[in-house]
Amino acid sequence: MGKTNGFLEYERVEDPVRGPEERTKDFKEFHGSLSAAERKKQAARCMDCGVPFCQAGCMIAGMASGCPLHNLVPEVNDLVFRGRMEEAYHRLSITHSFPEFTSRVCPALCEAACTCGLHDAPVCTKENEKDVIEYAYANGLVCEEAPAVRTGKKVAVVGSGPSGLAAAQLLNRRGHEVTVYERRDRVGGLLRYGIPNMKLDKSVIDRRVELMEKAGIRFVVNADVGKDISAADLKKEYDAVILACGASQPRDINAPGRDAEGIRFAVDFLGEVTKTLLDSDFAKVPTELAKDKDVVVIGGGDTGNDCVGTCIRLGAKSVTQLEMMPRPAEERLPSNPWPEWPRVLKTDYGQEEAIWRDGADPRIYCTTVSEFIKDKKGKLKELVLVTLKPQKDEKTGRMNMVPVEGSERKIPAQLVLIAAGFLGSEKYVTDAFGVETDARTNVKTNAGGYASSEKKVYAAGDMHRGQSLVVWAIAEGRGAAKAVDEALMGYTNL
C-alpha cells in the first residue's frame, strides 16, 4: 500500500449528505462527494492487512463476509490514493459489472469485513468505488463496445434486473447475440421499480442501458414471458435462455381483515410511486397515496426503510414500522465476532428522516399485526398489534417469536405496506419453462452451477438463490454468463 500508516493518520470521513429538512422535499439523490484530496485520504486508510477479508465473499456462520464479486479492494484503494483514477476504474471493471449500482444501494459487505474495522472504523470502500465509477463516466472511460466477431449463438435473458443485465453484458462482450425481455415498461427490474429514486436515481440505470444497447444488446419491454411470450418459442429460437426474473412473490400477512382496502405490498407501492414520477418527468408526486394517512410498514429491512422515507416525502400523517425480531445490539456481541456480518442496530435514511420529523424512531420491535380492522365501507381504519417474545421449540431447537398473551393494543392505520420479504419465483414462469424448483420455489440447478433441469435453460439471481442483495445478483449473472458461454462454445474466457 502506498500509505502504510494511513489508517493511523486519518479518521473515517463519509460523503456529505443533504439534511432531512431539505431532502424530504424531493426524490433526488441526497449523497454528495468528498473533494479529491479527501478521497485520497480515505483510500489511504486501506491497510496492508495481509489477508483482505473485504474481497473474500465467503460464507461465515451462514452469512456473507466480504464482496461476492471478489473485487480486489486493496488494489483499487491504492490506485485511488495515488490519484490514478483511470487505472482504478479499469481494475474495478475486471470484476464488477455495475459499480454505479452497488455504490449506491449495497450494504457494503466489503466494509463489514474490513480488517481496519476490527478495532476502528472501516475504510470507505463503497464511497471510494462510487467516486471511481463517476470519474470514469465523467471522463468518457465507460464503454460497452460491440464485439468485433459474433459467434452466431443467440441467448435470451428473461428479466432486466441486476442479474439479467450482468449476464447480458458479459455474453454480448463474448460475441453472442443477446436479447433481454422485461415485463415492465422500462428496463431495470427492482433497480427501477423496487428502489426509490432518492436511493438510486433512474438516470444512472438509463445511461448504462443506453451503452449496452449501442453495443448490440436488444431490450424488449412490456414482454411478459410465460404469458405474452411463449417459453416454448424462446427455447426454440435461442441457443440458451437465462431466467433472471427475481424472487417476485411477496410474503403476505395472513390475519383477520386482510381483505380491507388500504393494504398493499411494499414493492407494488414503491413501483407505483416511481412510475408516476418517471411518467411525469418528476412533475407529479403521487401524494394521494399516503398524504395525511397513518401508515404502518410491516417489515424492518431495507424495503421497509424505503417505504418509511417514501411516505414521509408523500406527506404521511404518521409512519410506524413493525419489526418481529428484538432490537439488535448497538455493538457486536461476543457471539458475532468480526469478520462475520455485524448483526447490530442500523438506522437508515428513512428512519433518520422519521426521527427528524416526528421526534422518535418509527420502529417497534417484537411486534406484529394480529388483526386488520376496517370500517363499514371496507376501508382499513385500525390495526390490532401484539407483542412477540422468543420461545425455543423443544422439538427442533429453533427460537420462534410467539405472541404474548394479553399484549394486544390498537393503533390507527389507513395504509399498511407489507415489506416482509419474498418467497421465491413466480409459478407461472417456472411452470412455463418446466424447470424444477426447491421448497422455497427457487429454480433448482446443477450443484454449484446455473443449469436448470431443462435443457438450454439456466437460472440466476434471486430466482436461483432466493431474495438477496444487488451485489449477489450481479455475481450470479456473471456466473450464469460463464456457464452459458462454456456450454455454447465448449470453453469460456469469461
Over the stretch 120-163, which tens digit does the pLDDT of each residue have? 999 999 999 999 999 999 999 999 989 999 999 999 999 999 99
For the chain, give the mean pLDDT: 96
Give the C-alpha separation, 52 to 71, whole Å.
Answer: 11
Q: Give the list of residues 6+ apart from residue 288 with CB closer than 8 angstroms, or none.
A: none
Q: Domains of the chain by range and CATH?
A: 6-138 (1.10.1060.10), 154-248+423-489 (3.50.50.60), 263-418 (3.50.50.60)
Rounded to 5 degrees, φ, ψ at 425 are: -70, 155
C-alpha distance from residue 277 to each of 18, 193, 273, 284, 445 (Å): 21, 11, 6, 6, 39
Residue 468 backbone class (left: φ over 0; alpha: ψ -120 to 50; beta: rest): beta
β-sheet bridge partners, residue 294: 318
| Residue pair 243/463 in contact by the 8 Å Cβ criterion | yes
pTM of the model: 0.96
Give the C-alpha separation, 386 to 405, whole Å.
Answer: 8
Confidence of residue 1 (pLDDT cuts 50, 70, 90): low
- How large a percentage of the chain has pLDDT more than 70? 100
User: Does residue 358 have a pLDDT over 70?
Assistant: yes
* Spatial CA neighbour of 260 closest among 371, 387, 386: 371
Q: pLDDT tens, 228-287?
A: 999 999 999 999 999 999 998 999 999 999 999 999 999 999 999 999 999 999 999 999
β-sheet bridge partners, residue 403: 388
- How large a percentage of the chain has pLDDT more than 90? 95
Confidence of residue 335 (pLDDT cuts 50, 70, 90): very high
Give the C-alpha separation, 440 to 446, whole Å.
Answer: 16
Give the model's pLDDT for residue 112. Answer: 96
Confidence of residue 113 (pLDDT cuts 50, 70, 90): very high
